[in-house]
Amino acid sequence: MTLVATPTALRATRATSAVSILGLSKRFRVRRPLAAAVRAPFGRGSRLALANIDLDVHEGEFFGLLGPNGAGKTTLFKVLSTLILPDTGRATVLGHDVVRSPATTRRLLAPVIADERSLHWRLTAVENLKLFSALHGVPRRDVDVRVRELLALVGLDATATQLVGTFSSGMKQRLLIARALLARPRVLLLDEPTRSLDPISARALRTFLRDELVGRQGCSVLLATHSAEEAFGLCDRVAVLDRGRLLATGPVERLARDVGDARFRAWTRDAQHPAWQALGDRGVVAHLSGAVQEDEWTRIDVDVPGGLDQAAHVLDLLTCAGVRVARFERAPLTLAELLDRIVTRRKEAPDA
């Protein structure tokens, strides 16, 4: 995956804040077993969902919230959507406090939740959008034009009169985005929008989000995902959350360089060649994964400290040793590996 600075990212560095979060924390009470309640009837248990979060999202930026299930991404979205109140801290949307000005916030910001069930499956796409137009207060004289525009924007104009119950997951997701855009919000919250989509539909939706919503419509987008590849492939900047705590934040290219640049993947027919072990013994590579057979080739993952220059040196050493390598490329980290590396780096440099 090639990581480059985008025009959106360059604009965002000079833009004002679309979303500003300062010291935001939230705890939820947890239900206790009956035996615990009997022993201590006045005791209270709680779960930390957000712990002193500081974030700033620029106007016109595609910002990613990356973390596993339970990291706090959905809780943060609910605070920004005015659905729940924070315990401490402050959040603003385009300068409006989400607690003090909830009505204004809801006009400026719209959430899009994957697998949401509020669409009416026995109505057509047009009828759904007309119904929600009334709920969003769209003037009646503008409804027909607005609905046609949005269906064309999300690529559903050809299926506008089709019952939503017959839509694929990707089509329903596009309709949810069209519904969110009815009130012309300036900030969109996308909670795992590709979770239930097949790879082809997911790729098409990512392209639409990047090129149309951010590139042409100028929306500020916050994307919550547990896919490191999706976050690094789409976003200008990424914040990494784990168990309610902010572990890291910064431009995609910097995080990828600092955390994920060392992993490379090779396809070879000489997985047992002694050159592989020799690289590890000499400290040229930090880690060799177990080999995975793929047809006639074997896939091996290696950690190469030093990035691309050192990776080129590793490939040169393998070739000179007579190892047949068909492909050698940067490999994406899993979310678990990414979190582990960030935590390890923080322990090694706590003041960094």
Q: How far apart are CA 202 and CA 193, in angstroms?
A: 8
Burial of 338 (0-12, 13-18, 19+ CB in 10 A): buried
Residue 254 reports pLDDT greater than 90 = no
- Asked if residue 9 has pLDDT above 50, the reply is no
Average pLDDT on 34-53 reads: 77
Q: Is the pTM of this model over 0.85?
A: no
Q: Is the pLDDT of residue 351 over 60?
A: no
Per-residue pLDDT reduced to its tens digit, 186-200: 999 999 888 877 888
Confidence check: pLDDT of 13 > 50: no
For residue 18, pLDDT beyond 90? yes
pLDDT of residue 5: 37
DSSP SS3 for 255? helix
What pLDDT, in 10s, does the model give residues 267-310?
Answer: 998 988 999 888 888 888 877 776 788 778 898 888 887 777 88
150/174 Cα distance (integer angstroms) = 10
Amino acid at 21: I
Q: In the structure, what pLDDT confidence band is assigned to residue 7 with cuts at 50, 70 and 90?
A: very low
The reported pLDDT for the residue numbered 156 is 94
Exposure string (b/e) for 114-140, b if CB count within 10 Å is 16 or more? beeeebeeeebbbbbbbebbeebebee
Give me 220's structure tokens.
């500020």
Q: 327 has which bridge partners?
A: 267
Give residue 46's pLDDT.
80
> Strand 325-330 and strand 45-58: pairing?
unpaired
pLDDT digits (tens, 9 = 90+) for 51-77: 999 999 999 999 999 998 889 999 999
Tell whether the model's pLDDT for residue 175 goes beyond 90: yes
Structure-token match 């393998």, residue found: 318
Identify the pLDDT of residue 187. 96
Q: Please, is 294 exposed, middle or buried when counting C-beta atoms within 10 Å of its C-beta (0-12, 13-18, 19+)?
A: exposed
Q: What is the mean pLDDT of the chain?
A: 85
- Domains of the chain, first to last: 7-257 (3.40.50.300), 262-335 (3.30.70.260)
* pLDDT score recorded for residue 216: 84
pLDDT score at 42: 65
pLDDT tens-digit map of 109-165? 999 987 677 899 999 999 999 999 999 889 999 999 999 999 999 999 999 999 999
pLDDT confidence band for 32 (50 / 70 / 90): low
Res 260 pLDDT > 80: no
- How many Å apart are CA 336 and CA 118, to the nearest integer? 33
Pair 286, 305: CB distance under 8 Å: yes
pLDDT tens for 218-239 read 899 999 998 888 888 889 999 9
The mean pLDDT of 169-173, rounded to a whole number, is 89
**Tally of CB atoms within 10 A around 23:** 13
Backbone angles phi, psi at 312, to 5 degrees: -60, -35
